[in-house]
Chain A
Amino acid sequence: KQEVTQIPAALSVPEGENLVLNCSFTDSAIYNLQWFRQDPGKGLTSLLLIQSSQREQTSGRLNASLDKSSGRSTLYIAASQPGDSATYLCARGGSEKLVFGKGTKLTVNP
Chain B
Amino acid sequence: NAGVTQTPKFQVLKTGQSMTLQCAQDMNHEYMSWYRQDPGMGLRLIHYSVGAGITDQGEVPNGYNVSRSTTEDFPLRLLSAAPSQTSVYFCASRGPTGGNTGELFFGEGSRLTVL
Contacts and interface: CB of A to CB of B under 8 A. Distances in A.
A43 B48 CA distance: 18
Contacts of A98: 45, 104
Interface stretch (A19-27, A69-77, A100-108): A100-108
Interface string A68-108: 00000000000000000000010101111110111100000
A51 B101 contact: yes
B103 A46 contact: yes
A32 interface: yes
Interface residues of B, number: 24
Nearest to B6: A43
Interface in B41-75: 41-43, 45, 48, 50, 56, 58-59
Interface in A53-77: none
B105 to A, nearest CB: 7
Interface residues of A, number: 25
B53 to A, nearest CB: 16
B105 A46 contact: yes
B36 to A, nearest CB: 11
Given A95-B100, A100-B43, 18 more contacts: A31-B100, A31-B101, A32-B101, A34-B103, A41-B109, A42-B108, A42-B109, A43-B108, A43-B109, A44-B92, A46-B106, A89-B43, A93-B100, A93-B104, A97-B48, A97-B58, A97-B59, A102-B41
Contact of A103 (B42, B90, B106, B107): B42
A46 B104 contact: yes
A32 B104 CA distance: 11
